[in-house]
Chains A and B, each alone.
Chain A
Amino acid sequence: MAVSITLRNITKKFGAVTAVNNLSFGVEHGTIFAIVGPSGCGKSTLLKIMATMLAPSQGSGYINGQNLIARPWQIRQQIGYMGQRVILDEQLTILENFVFHCKLHGLDDQEAEARILGLAERFDLMDILHELPESLAYGVRRKIQLVRTLLTQPKILLLDEPTRSLDRQTALKIWDYLKEHRSSLTIVMITSSMAEVEHVADRLIIMNRGHILVDGSVDEILYAQQPNLVLEATVRDYDEEEYRTIRDAEFVLGISRNENVYEIITKSPAAQAQIIQLFKPGNLVAFIPRRTRLADAFIHTLTQEQMIDE
Protein backbone atom coordinates (compact mmCIF):
# COMPACT_ATOMS: atom_id res chain seq x y z
CA MET A 1 0.00 0.00 0.00
CA ALA A 2 1.28 3.53 -0.82
CA VAL A 3 2.61 5.60 2.03
CA SER A 4 0.95 8.98 2.64
CA ILE A 5 3.06 10.26 5.50
CA THR A 6 6.65 9.52 6.44
CA LEU A 7 8.35 11.20 9.37
CA ARG A 8 11.99 10.55 10.20
CA ASN A 9 13.64 11.57 13.47
CA ILE A 10 11.39 14.57 13.92
CA THR A 11 12.28 16.77 16.89
CA LYS A 12 10.63 20.02 17.88
CA LYS A 13 12.06 22.22 20.59
CA PHE A 14 10.56 25.37 22.08
CA GLY A 15 13.54 26.92 23.85
CA ALA A 16 14.71 24.37 26.40
CA VAL A 17 11.53 22.31 26.14
CA THR A 18 11.49 19.35 23.76
CA ALA A 19 7.88 18.89 22.66
CA VAL A 20 8.55 16.14 20.09
CA ASN A 21 11.61 13.97 20.53
CA ASN A 22 13.24 12.08 17.66
CA LEU A 23 10.03 10.62 16.37
CA SER A 24 9.69 8.41 13.29
CA PHE A 25 6.73 6.66 11.73
CA GLY A 26 4.82 6.22 8.50
CA VAL A 27 1.13 6.23 7.68
CA GLU A 28 -0.20 4.23 4.74
CA HIS A 29 -2.74 5.65 2.32
CA GLY A 30 -6.35 5.02 3.32
CA THR A 31 -5.51 4.53 6.99
CA ILE A 32 -7.29 6.08 9.95
CA PHE A 33 -4.36 6.75 12.23
CA ALA A 34 -4.85 7.85 15.83
CA ILE A 35 -2.42 9.67 18.09
CA VAL A 36 -3.20 9.33 21.78
CA GLY A 37 -1.40 10.44 24.90
CA PRO A 38 -1.73 12.54 28.01
CA SER A 39 -2.06 16.34 27.80
CA GLY A 40 1.13 18.12 26.85
CA CYS A 41 2.80 15.02 25.40
CA GLY A 42 3.41 16.67 22.02
CA LYS A 43 0.44 15.37 20.01
CA SER A 44 -0.80 18.75 18.77
CA THR A 45 2.75 19.90 18.03
CA LEU A 46 3.28 16.78 15.94
CA LEU A 47 0.05 17.39 14.04
CA LYS A 48 1.01 21.01 13.38
CA ILE A 49 4.36 19.85 12.02
CA MET A 50 2.52 17.53 9.62
CA ALA A 51 0.27 20.44 8.66
CA THR A 52 3.42 22.55 7.93
CA MET A 53 2.31 25.12 10.48
CA LEU A 54 5.38 24.42 12.58
CA ALA A 55 8.80 23.71 11.18
CA PRO A 56 10.61 20.84 12.93
CA SER A 57 13.85 21.68 14.74
CA GLN A 58 15.40 18.49 13.36
CA GLY A 59 14.42 15.58 11.16
CA SER A 60 12.70 15.22 7.83
CA GLY A 61 9.38 14.10 6.44
CA TYR A 62 7.22 13.62 3.40
CA ILE A 63 3.51 14.19 3.04
CA ASN A 64 2.09 12.62 -0.10
CA GLY A 65 5.57 12.61 -1.58
CA GLN A 66 6.22 16.31 -0.84
CA ASN A 67 9.09 17.33 1.38
CA LEU A 68 7.77 18.71 4.65
CA ILE A 69 10.39 21.42 4.94
CA ALA A 70 11.04 22.37 1.33
CA ARG A 71 7.49 22.29 -0.04
CA PRO A 72 5.00 23.39 2.64
CA TRP A 73 2.79 25.21 0.15
CA GLN A 74 2.35 22.11 -2.02
CA ILE A 75 1.54 20.07 1.09
CA ARG A 76 -1.09 22.54 2.27
CA GLN A 77 -2.92 22.13 -1.00
CA GLN A 78 -3.37 18.43 -0.27
CA ILE A 79 -4.27 18.44 3.38
CA GLY A 80 -7.17 19.54 5.53
CA TYR A 81 -6.25 20.63 9.04
CA MET A 82 -8.64 21.15 11.90
CA GLY A 83 -7.08 22.46 15.09
CA GLN A 84 -8.28 22.05 18.64
CA ARG A 85 -9.80 25.51 18.92
CA VAL A 86 -12.83 26.72 17.00
CA ILE A 87 -11.50 29.24 14.51
CA LEU A 88 -14.19 30.82 12.35
CA ASP A 89 -14.34 34.24 10.76
CA GLU A 90 -16.73 35.89 13.20
CA GLN A 91 -17.59 38.67 10.75
CA LEU A 92 -18.82 36.29 8.07
CA THR A 93 -21.95 34.12 8.14
CA ILE A 94 -21.57 30.34 8.12
CA LEU A 95 -22.24 30.24 4.37
CA GLU A 96 -19.71 33.01 3.77
CA ASN A 97 -17.20 31.18 5.94
CA PHE A 98 -17.64 28.14 3.72
CA VAL A 99 -17.44 30.14 0.49
CA PHE A 100 -14.34 31.98 1.72
CA HIS A 101 -12.67 28.66 2.54
CA CYS A 102 -13.51 27.26 -0.90
CA LYS A 103 -12.13 30.37 -2.56
CA LEU A 104 -8.96 30.21 -0.45
CA HIS A 105 -8.40 26.74 -1.87
CA GLY A 106 -9.24 27.67 -5.44
CA LEU A 107 -12.59 25.92 -5.93
CA ASP A 108 -14.77 27.41 -8.67
CA ASP A 109 -18.13 28.82 -7.62
CA GLN A 110 -20.30 26.00 -8.98
CA GLU A 111 -18.19 23.28 -7.42
CA ALA A 112 -18.09 25.19 -4.13
CA GLU A 113 -21.86 25.62 -4.09
CA ALA A 114 -22.46 21.92 -4.76
CA ARG A 115 -20.09 20.83 -2.02
CA ILE A 116 -21.37 23.36 0.53
CA LEU A 117 -25.00 22.42 -0.03
CA GLY A 118 -24.19 18.71 -0.04
CA LEU A 119 -22.34 18.82 3.25
CA ALA A 120 -24.71 21.32 4.87
CA GLU A 121 -27.62 19.02 4.04
CA ARG A 122 -25.85 15.94 5.31
CA PHE A 123 -24.77 17.55 8.59
CA ASP A 124 -28.02 19.46 9.25
CA LEU A 125 -26.57 22.94 8.75
CA MET A 126 -29.04 24.25 6.16
CA ASP A 127 -31.07 26.25 8.68
CA ILE A 128 -28.10 28.14 10.10
CA LEU A 129 -26.17 28.93 6.92
CA HIS A 130 -27.03 32.63 7.16
CA GLU A 131 -26.26 33.00 10.86
CA LEU A 132 -23.12 34.53 12.31
CA PRO A 133 -20.90 32.12 14.27
CA GLU A 134 -21.22 34.02 17.55
CA SER A 135 -24.92 33.14 17.78
CA LEU A 136 -24.23 29.39 17.74
CA ALA A 137 -23.41 26.87 20.45
CA TYR A 138 -19.85 25.62 20.79
CA GLY A 139 -20.66 22.12 19.56
CA VAL A 140 -22.31 23.50 16.42
CA ARG A 141 -19.35 25.79 15.75
CA ARG A 142 -17.05 22.81 16.05
CA LYS A 143 -19.18 20.84 13.60
CA ILE A 144 -19.03 23.80 11.19
CA GLN A 145 -15.27 23.85 11.50
CA LEU A 146 -15.06 20.17 10.66
CA VAL A 147 -17.42 20.51 7.69
CA ARG A 148 -15.34 23.44 6.45
CA THR A 149 -12.24 21.21 6.55
CA LEU A 150 -14.05 18.59 4.45
CA LEU A 151 -15.15 21.09 1.78
CA THR A 152 -11.89 20.97 -0.13
CA GLN A 153 -11.89 17.15 -0.23
CA PRO A 154 -8.30 16.90 0.99
CA LYS A 155 -6.26 13.76 0.43
CA ILE A 156 -5.00 13.87 3.98
CA LEU A 157 -7.05 14.99 6.96
CA LEU A 158 -5.25 16.11 10.11
CA LEU A 159 -7.78 16.40 12.92
CA ASP A 160 -7.15 17.49 16.48
CA GLU A 161 -9.96 16.13 18.68
CA PRO A 162 -12.47 16.15 15.78
CA THR A 163 -15.52 14.98 17.69
CA ARG A 164 -14.90 16.72 21.01
CA SER A 165 -18.01 18.61 22.16
CA LEU A 166 -20.12 16.96 19.47
CA ASP A 167 -23.18 14.93 20.37
CA ARG A 168 -22.92 11.21 19.74
CA GLN A 169 -25.29 11.29 16.76
CA THR A 170 -23.24 13.96 14.98
CA ALA A 171 -19.98 12.19 15.78
CA LEU A 172 -21.35 8.99 14.25
CA LYS A 173 -22.55 10.88 11.18
CA ILE A 174 -19.08 12.32 10.71
CA TRP A 175 -17.37 8.96 11.04
CA ASP A 176 -19.85 7.40 8.63
CA TYR A 177 -18.99 10.11 6.11
CA LEU A 178 -15.24 9.69 6.61
CA LYS A 179 -15.45 5.92 6.31
CA GLU A 180 -17.38 6.28 3.04
CA HIS A 181 -14.53 8.32 1.63
CA ARG A 182 -11.65 6.41 3.13
CA SER A 183 -10.47 4.91 -0.16
CA SER A 184 -9.35 8.39 -1.21
CA LEU A 185 -8.42 9.68 2.21
CA THR A 186 -5.79 9.27 4.89
CA ILE A 187 -6.83 10.48 8.33
CA VAL A 188 -4.53 11.35 11.20
CA MET A 189 -6.43 12.28 14.33
CA ILE A 190 -5.70 13.18 17.88
CA THR A 191 -8.32 12.01 20.30
CA SER A 192 -8.80 11.48 23.99
CA SER A 193 -11.65 9.05 23.39
CA MET A 194 -10.31 5.49 23.49
CA ALA A 195 -13.76 4.23 22.52
CA GLU A 196 -13.52 6.30 19.35
CA VAL A 197 -10.07 4.90 18.58
CA GLU A 198 -11.34 1.34 19.08
CA HIS A 199 -14.33 2.12 16.88
CA VAL A 200 -12.61 3.79 13.91
CA ALA A 201 -8.81 3.64 13.97
CA ASP A 202 -6.76 1.19 11.97
CA ARG A 203 -3.58 2.05 13.76
CA LEU A 204 -2.49 4.17 16.69
CA ILE A 205 0.52 5.45 18.53
CA ILE A 206 0.58 6.19 22.22
CA MET A 207 2.82 9.16 22.96
CA ASN A 208 4.27 10.50 26.16
CA ARG A 209 6.74 13.33 26.68
CA GLY A 210 7.38 13.73 22.97
CA HIS A 211 8.16 10.15 22.06
CA ILE A 212 6.25 7.05 20.97
CA LEU A 213 5.61 4.41 23.61
CA VAL A 214 3.50 2.02 21.53
CA ASP A 215 2.82 1.75 17.80
CA GLY A 216 0.42 -0.80 16.34
CA SER A 217 -3.10 -1.66 15.30
CA VAL A 218 -5.88 -1.70 17.89
CA ASP A 219 -5.97 -5.50 17.64
CA GLU A 220 -2.24 -5.84 18.08
CA ILE A 221 -2.25 -3.67 21.15
CA LEU A 222 -5.22 -5.45 22.65
CA TYR A 223 -3.70 -8.85 21.80
CA ALA A 224 -0.56 -7.90 23.66
CA GLN A 225 -2.79 -7.30 26.67
CA GLN A 226 -4.73 -10.57 26.37
CA PRO A 227 -3.34 -12.42 29.37
CA ASN A 228 -4.05 -9.36 31.44
CA LEU A 229 -7.20 -8.80 33.37
CA VAL A 230 -8.85 -5.57 34.40
CA LEU A 231 -10.42 -5.33 37.80
CA GLU A 232 -12.83 -2.57 38.69
CA ALA A 233 -12.65 -1.98 42.41
CA THR A 234 -14.99 0.41 44.21
CA VAL A 235 -13.73 1.69 47.55
CA ARG A 236 -15.58 3.42 50.37
CA ASP A 237 -12.96 6.19 50.72
CA TYR A 238 -9.99 7.08 48.58
CA ASP A 239 -6.78 6.42 50.47
CA GLU A 240 -3.58 7.58 48.85
CA GLU A 241 -1.36 5.13 50.71
CA GLU A 242 -3.61 2.23 49.73
CA TYR A 243 -3.62 3.42 46.12
CA ARG A 244 0.20 3.62 46.01
CA THR A 245 0.56 0.19 47.58
CA ILE A 246 -1.62 -1.35 44.86
CA ARG A 247 0.10 0.62 42.12
CA ASP A 248 3.55 -0.53 43.24
CA ALA A 249 2.60 -4.18 43.71
CA GLU A 250 4.62 -6.58 41.55
CA PHE A 251 1.59 -8.20 39.91
CA VAL A 252 -0.13 -4.89 39.03
CA LEU A 253 0.59 -3.61 35.56
CA GLY A 254 -1.35 -0.38 35.73
CA ILE A 255 -3.91 1.52 37.74
CA SER A 256 -6.15 4.53 37.26
CA ARG A 257 -8.69 6.18 39.50
CA ASN A 258 -12.00 7.91 38.89
CA GLU A 259 -13.14 9.16 42.31
CA ASN A 260 -13.81 5.99 44.32
CA VAL A 261 -13.39 3.52 41.46
CA TYR A 262 -9.98 2.03 40.66
CA GLU A 263 -9.26 0.27 37.39
CA ILE A 264 -6.45 -2.19 38.05
CA ILE A 265 -4.68 -4.10 35.29
CA THR A 266 -3.12 -7.34 36.48
CA LYS A 267 -0.95 -9.98 34.88
CA SER A 268 -3.37 -12.84 35.43
CA PRO A 269 -6.64 -13.81 37.12
CA ALA A 270 -4.55 -15.50 39.80
CA ALA A 271 -3.49 -12.07 41.06
CA GLN A 272 -7.04 -11.17 42.08
CA ALA A 273 -6.80 -12.68 45.51
CA GLN A 274 -3.48 -10.98 46.19
CA ILE A 275 -4.88 -7.59 45.14
CA ILE A 276 -7.84 -7.92 47.49
CA GLN A 277 -5.35 -8.36 50.34
CA LEU A 278 -3.85 -4.93 49.55
CA PHE A 279 -7.01 -2.96 50.37
CA LYS A 280 -7.43 -1.59 53.88
CA PRO A 281 -9.93 -3.59 55.92
CA GLY A 282 -13.51 -2.58 55.22
CA ASN A 283 -12.62 -0.13 52.45
CA LEU A 284 -13.35 -2.40 49.47
CA VAL A 285 -17.01 -2.20 48.46
CA ALA A 286 -17.10 -4.03 45.09
CA PHE A 287 -14.63 -5.92 42.94
CA ILE A 288 -15.52 -6.83 39.32
CA PRO A 289 -13.23 -8.38 36.68
CA ARG A 290 -13.82 -7.41 33.00
CA ARG A 291 -12.15 -7.82 29.59
CA THR A 292 -9.29 -5.58 28.53
CA ARG A 293 -10.12 -2.40 26.58
CA LEU A 294 -7.88 -0.02 24.70
CA ALA A 295 -8.14 2.50 27.53
CA ASP A 296 -6.57 -0.14 29.81
CA ALA A 297 -3.69 -0.63 27.41
CA PHE A 298 -3.21 3.14 27.42
CA ILE A 299 -3.11 3.31 31.21
CA HIS A 300 -0.88 0.25 31.38
CA THR A 301 1.60 1.77 28.96
CA LEU A 302 1.77 5.08 30.78
CA THR A 303 2.06 3.42 34.21
CA GLN A 304 4.89 1.22 32.99
CA GLU A 305 6.80 4.24 31.81
CA GLN A 306 6.14 6.09 35.03
CA MET A 307 7.47 3.12 37.01
CA ILE A 308 10.61 2.90 34.87
CA ASP A 309 11.23 6.59 35.54
CA GLU A 310 10.74 6.21 39.27
Chain B
Amino acid sequence: MNNAYRALWWREFVLYRRNFIGEGVLNLLLPLIFFLFLGMGFQQIVGKIDGVAYFEFLIPGMVLLTIALSAFETTSWFYATNRRNQQWQEVILMGDFPNKRSLFLSQILIGIVKSLFHGLVIFLITVFLSGASVSQINIQAFLAFVLFTAIQFSALGHIVGLYVKPGPLLGRLVIFLIFPLFIVSGIGWNISQYTPVFEKIIYWLPTYTLMHGTQSAFLKGVIQNFALIVTIVETGVIVGVAQLLTGTRDDV
Protein backbone atom coordinates (compact mmCIF):
# COMPACT_ATOMS: atom_id res chain seq x y z
CA MET B 1 0.00 0.00 0.00
CA ASN B 2 1.57 3.30 -0.98
CA ASN B 3 1.73 6.54 1.00
CA ALA B 4 -1.37 8.16 -0.42
CA TYR B 5 -3.57 5.13 0.30
CA ARG B 6 -2.24 5.04 3.85
CA ALA B 7 -2.97 8.74 4.21
CA LEU B 8 -6.58 8.26 3.11
CA TRP B 9 -7.03 5.41 5.57
CA TRP B 10 -5.54 7.54 8.35
CA ARG B 11 -7.96 10.37 7.47
CA GLU B 12 -10.89 7.93 7.53
CA PHE B 13 -9.92 6.64 10.98
CA VAL B 14 -9.47 10.15 12.37
CA LEU B 15 -12.93 11.17 11.17
CA TYR B 16 -14.51 7.87 12.20
CA ARG B 17 -13.14 8.18 15.71
CA ARG B 18 -14.32 11.77 15.94
CA ASN B 19 -17.78 11.10 14.49
CA PHE B 20 -18.21 7.66 16.03
CA ILE B 21 -21.60 8.44 17.59
CA GLY B 22 -22.98 10.12 14.48
CA GLU B 23 -21.50 7.76 11.94
CA GLY B 24 -20.58 4.41 13.48
CA VAL B 25 -23.27 4.02 16.12
CA LEU B 26 -26.10 5.43 13.96
CA ASN B 27 -25.12 3.26 11.02
CA LEU B 28 -25.49 0.24 13.30
CA LEU B 29 -28.36 1.46 15.40
CA LEU B 30 -30.84 2.09 12.59
CA PRO B 31 -30.78 -1.45 11.15
CA LEU B 32 -30.69 -2.84 14.68
CA ILE B 33 -33.80 -0.93 15.76
CA PHE B 34 -35.49 -1.96 12.54
CA PHE B 35 -34.52 -5.58 13.22
CA LEU B 36 -35.82 -5.54 16.77
CA PHE B 37 -39.10 -3.77 16.03
CA LEU B 38 -39.87 -5.74 12.88
CA GLY B 39 -38.77 -8.96 14.52
CA MET B 40 -40.68 -8.49 17.76
CA GLY B 41 -43.73 -7.18 15.92
CA PHE B 42 -44.08 -10.03 13.45
CA GLN B 43 -42.41 -12.95 15.25
CA GLN B 44 -45.60 -13.81 17.08
CA ILE B 45 -47.83 -13.34 14.03
CA VAL B 46 -45.66 -14.90 11.35
CA GLY B 47 -43.84 -17.47 13.45
CA LYS B 48 -41.82 -19.08 10.70
CA ILE B 49 -41.10 -17.99 7.15
CA ASP B 50 -39.53 -20.31 4.55
CA GLY B 51 -39.09 -22.78 7.38
CA VAL B 52 -37.00 -20.55 9.63
CA ALA B 53 -37.84 -18.35 12.61
CA TYR B 54 -38.82 -14.82 11.60
CA PHE B 55 -35.95 -13.22 13.53
CA GLU B 56 -33.53 -15.48 11.69
CA PHE B 57 -35.13 -14.68 8.34
CA LEU B 58 -34.41 -10.98 8.93
CA ILE B 59 -30.64 -11.40 9.45
CA PRO B 60 -29.33 -11.48 5.84
CA GLY B 61 -31.48 -8.49 4.87
CA MET B 62 -30.26 -6.49 7.86
CA VAL B 63 -26.64 -7.28 7.06
CA LEU B 64 -27.13 -6.25 3.42
CA LEU B 65 -29.01 -3.08 4.36
CA THR B 66 -26.25 -2.06 6.78
CA ILE B 67 -23.55 -2.68 4.21
CA ALA B 68 -25.39 -0.82 1.47
CA LEU B 69 -26.13 2.26 3.58
CA SER B 70 -22.65 2.41 5.03
CA ALA B 71 -20.85 1.95 1.70
CA PHE B 72 -23.07 4.47 -0.05
CA GLU B 73 -22.63 7.07 2.68
CA THR B 74 -18.86 6.70 2.87
CA THR B 75 -18.11 7.29 -0.79
CA SER B 76 -20.94 9.70 -1.61
CA TRP B 77 -19.96 12.03 1.23
CA PHE B 78 -16.29 11.83 0.32
CA TYR B 79 -16.86 13.02 -3.24
CA ALA B 80 -19.72 15.39 -2.47
CA THR B 81 -17.66 17.07 0.26
CA ASN B 82 -14.78 17.34 -2.14
CA ARG B 83 -16.99 19.24 -4.58
CA ARG B 84 -18.20 21.57 -1.85
CA ASN B 85 -14.61 22.16 -0.77
CA GLN B 86 -13.65 23.45 -4.19
CA GLN B 87 -11.59 20.71 -5.72
CA TRP B 88 -9.97 19.56 -2.53
CA GLN B 89 -9.18 16.54 -4.65
CA GLU B 90 -6.52 18.68 -6.35
CA VAL B 91 -4.53 18.63 -3.14
CA ILE B 92 -4.96 14.93 -2.58
CA LEU B 93 -3.95 14.11 -6.10
CA MET B 94 -0.74 16.09 -5.71
CA GLY B 95 0.22 13.38 -3.22
CA ASP B 96 1.63 9.98 -3.96
CA PHE B 97 -1.07 8.86 -6.42
CA PRO B 98 -0.15 7.46 -9.82
CA ASN B 99 -3.35 8.87 -11.32
CA LYS B 100 -6.90 9.91 -10.60
CA ARG B 101 -8.25 6.39 -10.95
CA SER B 102 -6.09 5.18 -8.10
CA LEU B 103 -7.82 7.71 -5.84
CA PHE B 104 -11.14 6.32 -7.05
CA LEU B 105 -10.06 2.76 -6.26
CA SER B 106 -8.73 3.63 -2.82
CA GLN B 107 -11.88 5.47 -1.80
CA ILE B 108 -14.08 2.65 -3.10
CA LEU B 109 -11.93 0.25 -1.07
CA ILE B 110 -12.40 2.35 2.05
CA GLY B 111 -16.18 2.27 1.51
CA ILE B 112 -16.09 -1.51 1.06
CA VAL B 113 -13.99 -2.25 4.14
CA LYS B 114 -15.92 0.13 6.38
CA SER B 115 -19.29 -1.22 5.26
CA LEU B 116 -18.16 -4.84 5.65
CA PHE B 117 -17.02 -4.03 9.16
CA HIS B 118 -20.45 -2.58 9.96
CA GLY B 119 -22.06 -5.59 8.30
CA LEU B 120 -20.00 -7.96 10.44
CA VAL B 121 -21.02 -6.17 13.63
CA ILE B 122 -24.70 -6.36 12.66
CA PHE B 123 -24.30 -10.00 11.70
CA LEU B 124 -22.79 -10.91 15.07
CA ILE B 125 -25.38 -8.92 17.07
CA THR B 126 -28.38 -10.22 15.15
CA VAL B 127 -27.15 -13.83 15.27
CA PHE B 128 -26.56 -13.45 19.00
CA LEU B 129 -29.97 -11.82 19.67
CA SER B 130 -31.94 -14.28 17.55
CA GLY B 131 -29.99 -17.36 18.55
CA ALA B 132 -29.83 -18.29 14.88
CA SER B 133 -27.81 -21.27 13.74
CA VAL B 134 -24.93 -20.51 11.40
CA SER B 135 -24.00 -24.09 10.55
CA GLN B 136 -26.19 -24.16 7.43
CA ILE B 137 -24.65 -21.07 5.83
CA ASN B 138 -22.97 -21.42 2.47
CA ILE B 139 -20.14 -19.17 3.53
CA GLN B 140 -18.61 -18.60 0.08
CA ALA B 141 -21.92 -17.60 -1.46
CA PHE B 142 -22.86 -15.45 1.54
CA LEU B 143 -19.51 -13.62 1.45
CA ALA B 144 -19.72 -13.18 -2.32
CA PHE B 145 -23.13 -11.49 -2.12
CA VAL B 146 -22.22 -9.20 0.80
CA LEU B 147 -18.96 -8.28 -0.94
CA PHE B 148 -20.73 -7.44 -4.20
CA THR B 149 -23.27 -5.39 -2.25
CA ALA B 150 -20.43 -3.39 -0.69
CA ILE B 151 -18.76 -2.86 -4.07
CA GLN B 152 -22.00 -1.88 -5.80
CA PHE B 153 -23.08 0.66 -3.21
CA SER B 154 -19.61 2.06 -2.77
CA ALA B 155 -19.42 2.68 -6.53
CA LEU B 156 -22.99 4.02 -6.56
CA GLY B 157 -22.05 6.43 -3.77
CA HIS B 158 -19.13 7.56 -5.90
CA ILE B 159 -21.40 8.30 -8.88
CA VAL B 160 -23.95 10.15 -6.75
CA GLY B 161 -21.22 12.05 -4.91
CA LEU B 162 -19.87 13.37 -8.20
CA TYR B 163 -23.18 15.09 -8.97
CA VAL B 164 -25.02 15.73 -5.70
CA LYS B 165 -24.03 18.34 -3.15
CA PRO B 166 -23.58 17.13 0.43
CA GLY B 167 -26.58 17.77 2.62
CA PRO B 168 -30.26 16.89 2.73
CA LEU B 169 -30.44 15.40 -0.77
CA LEU B 170 -27.92 12.69 0.06
CA GLY B 171 -29.91 11.85 3.19
CA ARG B 172 -33.15 11.76 1.20
CA LEU B 173 -31.64 9.39 -1.36
CA VAL B 174 -30.85 6.99 1.46
CA ILE B 175 -34.26 7.25 3.10
CA PHE B 176 -36.46 7.44 0.01
CA LEU B 177 -34.54 5.28 -2.44
CA ILE B 178 -32.04 2.81 -1.00
CA PHE B 179 -33.98 1.96 2.13
CA PRO B 180 -37.32 1.33 0.32
CA LEU B 181 -35.54 -0.68 -2.39
CA PHE B 182 -34.30 -3.11 0.23
CA ILE B 183 -37.66 -3.19 2.00
CA VAL B 184 -39.61 -4.09 -1.13
CA SER B 185 -36.94 -6.58 -2.19
CA GLY B 186 -37.97 -8.84 0.66
CA ILE B 187 -36.04 -7.84 3.71
CA GLY B 188 -38.89 -8.87 6.02
CA TRP B 189 -41.04 -11.17 3.88
CA ASN B 190 -40.94 -13.44 0.89
CA ILE B 191 -41.78 -11.62 -2.33
CA SER B 192 -44.10 -14.45 -3.35
CA GLN B 193 -46.58 -12.77 -1.01
CA TYR B 194 -46.87 -9.86 -3.49
CA THR B 195 -49.35 -9.78 -6.34
CA PRO B 196 -47.92 -11.55 -9.45
CA VAL B 197 -47.42 -8.25 -11.32
CA PHE B 198 -45.64 -6.59 -8.41
CA GLU B 199 -43.58 -9.69 -7.85
CA LYS B 200 -42.37 -9.55 -11.46
CA ILE B 201 -41.38 -5.90 -11.04
CA ILE B 202 -39.48 -6.64 -7.85
CA TYR B 203 -37.77 -9.56 -9.55
CA TRP B 204 -35.96 -7.10 -11.84
CA LEU B 205 -34.64 -4.88 -9.05
CA PRO B 206 -30.86 -5.14 -8.50
CA THR B 207 -31.49 -5.22 -4.77
CA TYR B 208 -33.72 -8.26 -5.13
CA THR B 209 -30.93 -10.27 -6.75
CA LEU B 210 -28.61 -9.38 -3.88
CA MET B 211 -31.29 -10.13 -1.28
CA HIS B 212 -32.35 -13.41 -2.87
CA GLY B 213 -28.74 -14.62 -3.20
CA THR B 214 -27.83 -13.70 0.35
CA GLN B 215 -30.99 -15.15 1.89
CA SER B 216 -30.52 -18.43 0.03
CA ALA B 217 -26.89 -18.66 1.10
CA PHE B 218 -27.65 -17.80 4.72
CA LEU B 219 -30.95 -19.60 5.32
CA LYS B 220 -30.69 -22.61 3.03
CA GLY B 221 -26.95 -22.91 2.39
CA VAL B 222 -27.66 -22.76 -1.33
CA ILE B 223 -25.74 -20.82 -3.94
CA GLN B 224 -28.00 -19.12 -6.47
CA ASN B 225 -25.85 -19.25 -9.57
CA PHE B 226 -28.10 -17.13 -11.75
CA ALA B 227 -28.39 -14.44 -9.08
CA LEU B 228 -24.62 -14.50 -8.66
CA ILE B 229 -24.00 -14.05 -12.39
CA VAL B 230 -26.51 -11.19 -12.55
CA THR B 231 -24.88 -9.60 -9.50
CA ILE B 232 -21.40 -9.86 -11.02
CA VAL B 233 -22.61 -8.24 -14.25
CA GLU B 234 -24.43 -5.48 -12.34
CA THR B 235 -21.36 -4.82 -10.22
CA GLY B 236 -19.18 -4.63 -13.31
CA VAL B 237 -21.53 -2.12 -14.93
CA ILE B 238 -21.79 0.13 -11.85
CA VAL B 239 -18.03 0.10 -11.19
CA GLY B 240 -17.37 0.69 -14.88
CA VAL B 241 -19.69 3.70 -14.99
CA ALA B 242 -18.19 5.12 -11.78
CA GLN B 243 -14.70 4.68 -13.13
CA LEU B 244 -15.57 6.28 -16.47
CA LEU B 245 -17.12 9.27 -14.72
CA THR B 246 -13.94 9.69 -12.72
CA GLY B 247 -12.61 11.23 -15.92
CA THR B 248 -9.16 12.27 -16.89
CA ARG B 249 -6.55 14.56 -15.39
CA ASP B 250 -8.04 17.49 -17.28
CA ASP B 251 -11.06 17.82 -15.03
CA VAL B 252 -9.27 17.38 -11.71
Residues of A within 8 A of B (CB): 51-55, 72-73, 76-77, 79, 81, 83, 85-92, 96, 99-101, 103-106
Contacts and interface: CB of A to CB of B under 8 A. Distances in A.
A47 to B, nearest CB: 12
A100 B250 contact: no
Contacts of B87: 83, 85, 87
A199 B10 CA distance: 41
Nearest to B2: A106
A105 to B, nearest CB: 6
A144 to B, nearest CB: 12
Given A53-B249, A76-B94, A105-B96, A87 B14 contact: no
A91 B91 CA distance: 15
A86 B88 CA distance: 9
Contacts of B95: 76, 101, 104-105
14 contacts: A53-B93, A53-B252, A79-B94, A83-B90, A85-B86, A86-B86, A89-B91, A91-B15, A100-B7, A101-B91, A103-B10, A104-B4, A104-B92, A106-B3
A89 B94 contact: no
A85 B91 CA distance: 11
Interface in B2-61: 2-4, 6-7, 10-11, 14-15
Interface of B: 2-4, 6-7, 10-11, 14-15, 81, 85-88, 90-99, 248-250, 252
Given A55-B249, A103-B3, A89 B85 contact: yes
Contacts of B248: 55
Given A72-B99, A76-B97, A104-B95, 16 more contacts: A51-B94, A54-B249, A55-B248, A77-B96, A88-B85, A89-B11, A89-B91, A91-B15, A91-B81, A96-B14, A100-B11, A103-B6, A103-B7, A104-B3, A104-B7, A104-B92
A19 B86 CA distance: 21
Contacts of B96: 73, 76-77, 104-106
Nearest to A154: B94
The DSSP consensus for interface residues of chain A is loop
A92 B250 contact: no
A211 to B, nearest CB: 21
A77 B10 CA distance: 20
B249 A72 contact: yes
Task: Please report whether the interface of chain B is mostly helix, strand, loop or mixed according to DSSP.
Answer: helix
Nearest to A73: B98
A105 B10 CA distance: 13
B2 to A, nearest CB: 8
B7 A73 contact: no
Nearest to A133: B85
A87 B99 contact: no
Nearest to A91: B15
Contacts of A73: 96-99
A238 B112 CA distance: 66
- Residue from A52, A91, A99 whose CB has the most chain B CB atoms within 10 Å: A91
A77 B249 CA distance: 16
Top-10 shortest CB links A-B: A104-B95, A106-B3, A103-B7, A104-B7, A73-B98, A87-B88, A85-B86, A87-B91, A53-B252, A104-B4
B12 to A, nearest CB: 11
B249 A105 contact: no
Contacts of A101: 91, 95
Given A54-B250, A72-B249, A100-B10, A105 B97 contact: no
Nearest to A77: B96
Contacts of A76: 93-97
Contacts of B14: 92, 96
Contacts of A86: 86
B110 to A, nearest CB: 14
Contacts of A104: 3-4, 7, 92, 94-96
Contacts of B85: 87-90
A88 to B, nearest CB: 8
Nearest to A52: B249
Contacts of A92: 11, 14-15
Contacts of A85: 86-87
B7 to A, nearest CB: 4
A91 B7 CA distance: 15
Contacts of B249: 52-55, 72
Nearest to A79: B94
Contacts of B91: 87, 89, 101
Nearest to A85: B86
B86 to A, nearest CB: 5
Given A96-B14, A100-B7, A103-B7, A55 B250 contact: yes
A53 B10 contact: no
A96 B11 CA distance: 8
Contacts of A83: 87, 90
